[in-house]
């Protein structure tokens, strides 16, 4: 397909909010009921509950997801398009999970949802296909805030096809994107803007609708990485107007999978690398080989879990995404509405955790937080915090926390450009703690108490102070 065809954007300006409706946070009892559904959360460490603050690397899954995977394998494990009942049942489940995922991202058409091994693999596949339509001298915009999975696949086109990369930097003081720089990087040769919805390192939420509008005004496509945002904010490809959006179910309480939304005409017209007998229709043409069916059965159950969370919130989120019960007071009546209600209650719960974490981390001697740290700007971030602790390398801090049964990440977590832009690559990056709706205030207190102890100790001297 020629480049001018992929660069045209047929729809009008995006409408509707990305933000969820107002919702009340989960009560302590509700958090307890939520936690009881996640078997991993009952793990103990030295007689105390294990603390999972490694959510940005992958969240835990509810019991129903585990059961659905086992049930699939025990009951209807079959390859697709067979003329026998287990294959038919398996195919019906595959159709269901595409429809549920379309509801989850806000797509009208289940054929616009493609599943794959993970976001990185899907992005390499799409970037190869898009690259075939580009000419030397065409430009792609990438950012220094993004995970490398939304950078390296595009960078490969520089070497292979002479595509020019235009880089967007950050404001170091709060790790927000330099939007003026983005404006300057757009031009008549811009073909695509690759940008994240939320930073997996410092939690910054980008003004993504504005960025999509800017890209479209320049005639470019948008490829939005929503991997880090997905467990925290509602996704709405229609409201965003984005051409592509990718996320990873294992970051939002599901199995290890990748999920790509692509505009129907693009998925239809781009050339996929596929075997000859496979369908030419999306999504099948992009889902190469035999699907990871048991994981997709698990994901369907994860959507069910989120819907149950939406129902638990009594329909307070119904208005953003669809019909709710009479007068908005009852349970939301569509899957999209229940998912929207779930994300609203998740957002409200997480804001409470973020406020507490910001305050408490600020009191740890020698701790330097990066990113948006103003408690009045919580709408600009998700509750993922990255910091350094004076006198201790990030690995040393993570190891000490790990010894205490508190799981956190250290290093660059593939936010490769950001860690370099902040000058932290040589000193081991940063410690990263991430909260999701099943985390608790008590866990924040445990973290901060442990950090306080570590801060007071002399460094064991790993070389990265
Ligand atoms: C923001 C972001 N983008 C992309 C990825 C890569 O996702 P996957 O592991 O599904 O390839 C990650 C993984 O950590 C991420 O956090």
Residue 70 is part of a domain; what is its CATH number? 3.40.640.10
Residues 51 and 158 placed together within one structural domain of the fold = no
Residue 57: φ, ψ to 5°: -90, -10
| Rg of the chain on CA atoms, in Å | 22
Structural domains in the chain (count):
2
Report the distance separating Cα 92 and Cα 100, nearest Å.
Answer: 12
Residues 280 and 390 placed together within one structural domain of the fold = no
Residues 428 and 405 placed together within one structural domain of the fold = yes
Number of H helices, E strands in the chain: 16, 17
Using alpha carbons, select from 180, 174, 122 the residue that is nearest to residue 145: 174
Pocket test for ligand 1, best of 57, 59, 119, 208 (most atoms within 8 A of CB): 119
Domain CATH for 410: 3.90.1150.10
pLDDT tens for 53-92 read: 999 999 999 999 999 999 999 999 999 999 999 999 999 9
Do 23 and 345 meet the contact criterion of CB atoms below 8 Å apart? yes
Q: Which of 268, 300, 332 finishes a domain?
A: 300
Domain annotation covers residue 408: yes
Structure token digits, residue 330: 């009852």
Would you place residue 465 in the very low, low, confident or very high pLDDT band (cuts 50, 70, 90)?
Answer: very low
Q: 154: buried, middle or exposed (CB in 10 Å: 19+, 13-18, 0-12)?
A: buried
Query: Is the pLDDT assigned to residue 232 strictly greater than 70?
Result: yes
Residues 222 and 133 placed together within one structural domain of the fold = yes
Q: Which of 284, 300, 316 finishes a domain?
A: 300
pLDDT tens for 399-453 read: 999 999 999 999 999 999 999 999 999 999 999 999 999 999 999 999 999 999 9
Residues 202 and 267 placed together within one structural domain of the fold = yes
Q: Nearest 5°: CA angle at 12, between 8 and 17?
A: 125
| Cα of 47 from ligand 1 centre, angstroms | 33
What is the chain's mean pLDDT, rounded? 92
Report the distance separating Cα 440 and Cα 30, nearest Å.
Answer: 11
Q: What is the pLDDT of residue 329?
A: 52
**Residue range(s) defining the domain that contains residue 439:** 28-62+343-456
State the closest ligand 1 atom to the C-alpha of 58, by its place in the atom list counted from 1: 14
Transcribe 328-377 into DSSP letters.
G-S--SSHHHHHHHHHHHHHHHHHHHHHHHHHHHHTSTTEEEES---GGG
Do 157 and 198 meet the contact criterion of CB atoms below 8 Å apart? no
Report the distance separating Cα 183 and Cα 129, nearest Å.
Answer: 26
Residues 79 and 38 placed together within one structural domain of the fold = no
Residues 50 and 169 placed together within one structural domain of the fold = no
State the closest ligand 1 atom to the C-alpha of 250, by its place in the atom list counted from 1: 10
Domain annotation covers residue 1: no
Residues 275 and 419 placed together within one structural domain of the fold = no
Q: Which distant-in-sequence residues (6+ apart) come within 8 Å of 327 by Cβ?
A: none
Q: What is the pLDDT of residue 6?
A: 52
Report the distance separating Cα 324 and Cα 281, nearest Å.
Answer: 34
Domain annotation covers residue 465: no
Query: Is the pLDDT assigned to residue 127 strictly greater than 50?
Result: yes
Average of per-residue pLDDT across 323-344: 75
Q: Which of 266, 300, 334 finishes a domain?
A: 300
Using alpha carbons, select from 256, 270, 299, 257 the residue that is nearest to residue 3: 270
Domain annotation covers residue 381: yes
Domain annotation covers residue 313: no
Residues 53 and 71 placed together within one structural domain of the fold = no
Do 381 and 213 meet the contact criterion of CB atoms below 8 Å apart? no
Residues 434 and 295 placed together within one structural domain of the fold = no
Using alpha carbons, select from 235, 236, 233, 231 the residue that is nearest to residue 62: 231
Do 212 and 222 meet the contact criterion of CB atoms below 8 Å apart? yes
Q: 247: buried, middle or exposed (CB in 10 Å: 19+, 13-18, 0-12)?
A: buried
SS3 327: helix
Q: What is the pLDDT of residue 312?
A: 83
Residues 53 and 80 placed together within one structural domain of the fold = no
Q: 9: buried, middle or exposed (CB in 10 Å: 19+, 13-18, 0-12)?
A: buried
Least confident of 11-20, 168-177, 420-429: 11-20
Residue 314's region, left for phi above 0, alpha for psi from -120 to 50, else beta, is left
Domain annotation covers residue 305: no
| Cα of 203 from ligand 1 centre, angstroms | 13
Domain annotation covers residue 184: yes
Q: How many CA atoms lie within 13 A of 381 on its CB side?
A: 30
Domain annotation covers residue 327: no
Q: CB under 6 Å to ligand 1: residues?
A: 118-120, 147, 149-150, 196, 200, 225, 227-228, 248, 258
Using alpha carbons, select from 387, 347, 355, 388 the residue that is nearest to residue 374: 355
Q: How many CA atoms lie within 13 A of 264 on its CB side?
A: 9
Structure token digits, residue 203: 């939690």
Pocket test for ligand 1, best of 117, 147, 195 (most atoms within 8 A of CB): 147
Residues 209 and 252 placed together within one structural domain of the fold = yes
């Amino acid at each position: 397909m020629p480049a001018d065809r992929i660069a045209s954007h047929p729809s009008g300006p995006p409408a509707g909010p990305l933000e969820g409706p107002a919702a009340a946070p989960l009560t302590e009892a509700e958090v307890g009921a939520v936690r009881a559904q996640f078997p991993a959360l009952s793990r103990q460490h030295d007689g105390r509950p294990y603390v999972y603050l490694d959510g940005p690397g992958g969240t835990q899954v509810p019991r129903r997801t585990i059961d659905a995977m086992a049930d699939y394998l025990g009951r209807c494990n079959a390859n697709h398009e067979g003329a026998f009942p287990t294959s038919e049942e398996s195919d019906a489940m595959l159709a269901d999970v595409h429809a549920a995922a379309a509801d989850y991202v806000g797509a009208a058409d289940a054929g616009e949802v493609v599943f794959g091994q993970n976001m990185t693999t899907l992005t390499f596949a799409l970037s190869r296909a898009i690259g075939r339509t580009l000419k030397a001298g065409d430009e792609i915009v990438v950012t220094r805030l993004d995970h490398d999975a939304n950078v390296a696949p595009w960078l490969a086109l520089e070497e292979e096809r002479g595509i020019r990369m235009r880089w967007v930097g950050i404001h170091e003081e709060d790790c927000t994107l330099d939007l003026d720089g983005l404006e300057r990087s757009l031009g008549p040769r811009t073909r695509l803007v690759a940008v994240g919805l939320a930073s997996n390192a410092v939690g910054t939420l980008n003004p993504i609708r504005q960025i999509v509008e800017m890209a479209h005004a320049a005639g470019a496509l948008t490829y939005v990485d929503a991997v880090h945002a997905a467990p925290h904010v509602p996704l709405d490809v229609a409201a965003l107007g984005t051409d592509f959006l990718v996320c990873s179910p294992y970051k939002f309480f599901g199995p290890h999978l990748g999920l790509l939304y692509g505009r129907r005409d693009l998925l239809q017209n781009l050339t996929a690398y596929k075997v000859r007998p496979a369908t030419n229709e999306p999504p099948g043409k992009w889902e190469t080989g035999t699907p990871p069916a048991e994981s997709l059965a698990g994901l369907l159950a994860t959507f069910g879990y989120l819907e149950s969370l939406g129902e638990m919130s009594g329909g307070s989120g119904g208005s953003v995404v669809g019909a709710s019960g009479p007068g908005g007071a009852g349970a939301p009546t569509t899957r999209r509405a229940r998912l929207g209600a779930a994300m609203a209650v998740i957002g409200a719960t997480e804001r409470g955790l973020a406020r507490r974490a910001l305050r408490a981390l600020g009191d740890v001697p020698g701790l330097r937080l990066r990113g948006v740290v103003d408690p009045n700007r919580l709408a600009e971030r998700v509750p993922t915090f990255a910091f350094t602790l004076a006198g201790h390398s990030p690995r040393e801090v993570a190891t000490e926390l790990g010894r205490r049964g508190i799981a956190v990440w250290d290093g660059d977590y593939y936010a490769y450009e950001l860690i370099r832009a902040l000058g932290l690559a040589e000193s081991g990056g940063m410690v990263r703690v991430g909260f999701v709706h099943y985390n608790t205030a008590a866990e924040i207190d445990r973290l901060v108490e442990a950090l306080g102890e570590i801060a007071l100790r002399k460094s064991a001297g790993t070389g990265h102070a």
